[in-house]
Amino acid sequence: MSARRPTPLAKIELLVLDVDGVLTDGRLYFGARGEALKVFHVRDGHGMKLLRASGVDVAVISGRRSGAVTRRMRELGVDDVVQGAADKVAVLDRLCAKRRIRPTAIACLVDDTPDLPLMAAVGHAGAVADAHPLVLAAAHWVAERPGGRGAVRELCDAILRARAETRR
């Protein structure tokens, strides 16, 4: 666990997700004409829908570009999708300005070391179960499930539970 104290999940206003290794299992499928396929878990998508319906929005920031991501996020109603991001913290800063929220009101879910700066920039840093050891060590919250296999749904459910408990 990282030394800084995480923002309670009930106070999260935005969930930022990586794609490869988080929304997918991290494997890349290439055909003769380029990337042909990404596999998304339906329960992760449903968790994202439930989270959005509760008032917590979802954004995607990915270092890669994929038409499959564009299509899947459109199906789920995720408007803030930034692909090909070389500097995810800069993208996060723009999201904060656009939405008028502080980074401490943001949770992220990631899997690998390029996302360590993003983890340090948000209020609640999450990691999928099969994340790189350095990411696991920096995380405030770790999923029981691996990326692409329900980890996103786990975090969505944890946020929803925390919000429900504060309303009691």
- What is the pLDDT at residue 29? 83
- What is the pLDDT at residue 35? 65
- What is the pLDDT at residue 34? 72
- What is the pLDDT at residue 144? 98
Residues of the chain with pLDDT under 70: 1-3, 35-36
- What is the pLDDT at residue 149? 97
Specify the CATH number for 9-160; select among 1.10.3720.10, 3.40.50.300, 3.40.190.10, 3.40.50.1000.
3.40.50.1000
- What is the pLDDT at residue 1? 43
Q: Where do the structural domains in the chain lie, given as residue ranges?
A: 9-160
Enter the pTM of the model: 0.94
> Residue by residue, what is the 3-state secondary structure of 20-87?
CCCCCCCCCEEECCEEEECCCCHHHHHHHHHHHHCCCEEEEECCCCCHHHHHHHHHHCCCEEECCCCC
- What is the pLDDT at residue 158? 97
- What is the pLDDT at residue 167? 81
